[in-house]
Structure 1
Amino acid sequence: MVEAEVIKKVTKKTPAKASKTLFAVFATGGKQYRVVVGDKVKIEKLSDTHKEGDKLIFDKVLLVDDGASEATIGTPFIKGAEVKATLEKIARYKTIDVIKYKQKSRYFKKYGHRQPYFEIKIDSIT
């Protein structure tokens, strides 16, 4: 009985908030990202031809929601929708150690891997 009263108090004090910000879900590099204008996101490196400061346009937009009306969901993508971003930084993640080991044969290999990534800033969602 006490637990039920506590649950009622908690639910009364925390009403559900409706998101009133425009957000989108787009796909790149085999992953999907939920972004809002102004977000900084780390994505997979696209190609060597891009440089810092370049403008990127992602047209594989899966969902757009402005918070006021219904969300637009693509099948699989929304035609005409774009997420525009600026390439802020080209870098690599921390080293991941990879070890191969076989017992009894004294076989041991160790090497590291650093995955390159782009850090982008979302400019607009259209």
Structure 2
Amino acid sequence: MYAVIKTGGKQYVVEPGQVLKVEKLNLPEGSEVEFEALLVRDDSSVKVGDEAKGYKVKATVVRHGKGKKIIVFKYKKKKHYQRKYGHRQHFTELQINEIVS
């Protein structure tokens, strides 16, 4: 069984027992969070839209952190313009517990 959830403007395919990195959620570590399922797939059927409305995905916040550094380099030839800076995106790691109806 798996489901599709939406958080942080992105959609993720999740299964029970999976560990997932999403955009930072303002929740303490160890707390429970619930997401609405957009799509649910059982062994025999697929439920989408209104059919999947009653399904919830329960997850636990494992930890918060920062991703790998991304280097941003801007350059304009013949104009002596260069800018270099880095960015590290904050994330929340979730442990998917169960998909319930």
Q: What is the Cα deviation at residue 28 of structure 1?
A: 1.1
CA contact (8 A) 2:38 2:53 kept: no
Q: Which runs of 5+ in 1 are unaligned?
A: 1-21
Q: Is residue 70 from structure 1 mapped to residue 49 from structure 2 by the alignment? A: no
- Give 1 or 2: higher strand fraction: 2
Say how many residue pairs are matched.
100
Q: Distance in 1 between matches of 2:85 and 2:74?
A: 9
Corresponding residue of 2:30 = 53
Larger Rg: 1 or 2?
Answer: 1
Alignment of structure 1 residues 103-114 onto 2, 5 Å:
103-114=77-88
State the percentage of identical aligned residues. Answer: 46
C-alpha RMSD of matched pairs (Å): 1.4
Structure-1-length-normalised TM-score: 0.73
Q: Which runs of 5+ in 2 are unaligned?
A: none
- Give 1 or 2: higher helix fraction: 1
The residue identity in structure 1 corresponding to 2:49 is: G
